[in-house]
């Protein structure tokens, strides 16, 4: 597979030790093939890792007049410089890690607990992010380059 020319960066990595538990920001994590991130609660299926665009989050916050941090969205990877909507059905490479992007992360009721109106504000243009499977595992750290593959 070749690179599409679209490149970005990992800004934050978060794991959630249990379902609905608060996120823990980490400086390094192992992406485990066919499983997800080490230390994250089991997600199973195709939703092993979730990604959020910081630009989409900032656009949402501006629209709502809010100032919540991207971690409020509960994604595993907060990235910059990637059009996640355009990554649907494609692979993303971060170092030696490859993720197959499988679908949109639909905003849930937890978003309303963060701020009234947030769930609805995240719905347009996949501003709530995307999810995918770990195709090839390896280490992830903030600052790593993110590349969408053709």
pLDDT tens per residue, range 61-118:
999 999 999 988 989 999 999 999 999 999 999 999 999 999 999 888 878 888 888 8
| Domain CATH for 131 | 2.40.33.20
Phi, psi of 35 (to 5 degrees): -130, -50
How many domains are there within the chain?
Answer: 1
User: What is the model's pLDDT at position 4?
Assistant: 55
* DSSP single-letter state for residue 97: E
Q: Residue 126: left if φ>0, alpha if ψ -120 to 50, beta else—which one? A: left
Domain interval for residue 91: 3-149
**Closest to 27 (Cα-Cα) out of 140, 134, 138, 147:** 140
Q: Is the pTM of this model over 0.75?
A: yes
Which residues face 12 on adjacent strands? 78
């Amino acid at each position: 597979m070749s690179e599409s020319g679209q490149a970005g960066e990992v800004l934050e990595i978060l794991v959630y030790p249990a379902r609905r538990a608060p996120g823990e920001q980490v400086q390094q994590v192992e992406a485990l093939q066919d499983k997800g991130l080490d230390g994250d609660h089991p997600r199973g299926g195709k939703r092993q890792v979730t990604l959020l665009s910081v630009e989409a989050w900032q656009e949402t916050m501006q629209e709502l007049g809010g100032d919540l941090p991207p971690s409020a969205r509960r994604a595993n990877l907060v990235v910059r410089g990637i059009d996640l909507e355009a990554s649907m059905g494609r692979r993303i490479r971060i170092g030696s890690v490859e993720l197959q992007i499988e679908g949109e992360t639909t905003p849930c009721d937890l978003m309303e607990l963060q701020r009234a109106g947030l769930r609805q504000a995240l719905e347009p243009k996949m501003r709530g992010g995307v999810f995918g499977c770990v195709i090839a595992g390896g280490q992830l750290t903030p600052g790593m380059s993110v590349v969408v593959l053709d």
